[in-house]
Structure formats: C-alpha cells, structure tokens
Amino acid sequence: MTKKIIGLVLILSLIGIVLFNLVFADDINSEKLTFDNPIEGTAIVSPNNNSALESGSTAPNFTLETLEGERVSLSDYKGKKVFLNFWTTWCPPCKKEMPDMQTFHEQYGDEVEILAINSTGNEYKPSDVPAFIEKGNYTFNVLLDKDGAVSNEYMIYTIPVTYFIDSEGVIRDKLTGPMTVDYMIEMMEKLK
C-alpha cells in the first residue's frame, strides 16, 4: 500500500511540474537560448552575455607558466598566428580534439602557434596535467592557468574554447567545442 501511495504522489508531482511549465514558463523566463555554435559536449551561455570578447578586439595579454616552469606571455607571439585553446584533462571534447591539435601542430607549427591553456584550477588533481600531456605525446605549448585569472579574463564558461588570433594580436574568431584538423586549417587560412 505504501508503494502505491508513493507512486501516486510521484506521478501527481510530475504532472504538476509539467502543467506548471506549460502555463507559467514563458512568464518566468522570457529569455530564449540560441545555438550559435551547437557542438556536442559543450555548454550554452545566454546570448545576452555581452561580456565575452568580440571578434575584432585586441586579445588581452597574459603571462603563464609552461609545464617546465618557463614564463610565457601572449605578447611573445606578436607577429604570429595563435590558436588560444582552453581545456582540462577531464573534459571529453577536450580529449577528442587533442590528437587533432597535435597533428595540426606537427604539420603547421611553423605557421601557427598553439597555446593550450589548461584551466588548472578546475582540475581534480593538477598533477594529472603533465601525465596527460606525456601520455598523449603532445608537443604544442601547454600553459597552466593555476588561479583561473586568464580563463576569467577570456570569459571561459565552458570548455573547450579556442580563440583565433591574427599576427597583429587581434581576435578574429572563437570556437566553443572541439576542433578538427580540417577546421584548424580553415581557420589558419582565414587569419592574416
């Protein structure tokens, strides 16, 4: 008898939730989400978020450490095309794009600099980062954003995210989601 009562309460609760959403949802949340770049494995940010960096703006400079402890600044790459990629070791779409990033780096590393910024403050264990890079034999530059300051400055709300920066330090495009080799080649050709 108790199971029947619990089941009936659950069913009535679900019906109530559905009815409430049908009747009041438009009044409560009139803001609709759009899918500007729908890629599996990414989150959606409200389209009214005006704080994100825009195409045509100068990429904010920063200084971070590499896995080897060397300090690197974005301004060190002035005059070179840069793919500024934000990622973590536990992110499935990040893991998916890493081999493609390595392939691209091996073929076009003289033309485009990949700066893979690990959101180290969001890692389960920061010690996972060097092991992940070593296991994948990744040779592009990996930078550690230990306190999340650069991720905050670049308005990173989901990962992976890649900013495509031209040789003059100007953001020309942004991708939320994993990159493929073909996409990276296309973006390299678009950048001056």
The residues that are catalytic are: 94
Q: Where are the alpha helices (DSSP H) in the chain?
A: 2-28, 92-108, 128-136, 149-153, 181-190
Tell me if 66 sits within 8 A of 159, measured CB to CB: no
CA–CA separation, 71 and 69 (whole Å): 6
Q: How far is CA 95 from the centre of its chain?
A: 12
Adjacent-strand bridge partners of 163: 84, 174
Question: What's the CA angle centered on 187, arms 184 and 191, to 5 degrees?
Answer: 135
* Closest listed residue to residue 74, CA positions, set 55, 87, 58: 58
Q: How far is CA 178 from the centre of its chain?
A: 8
CA–CA separation, 57 and 153 (whole Å): 13
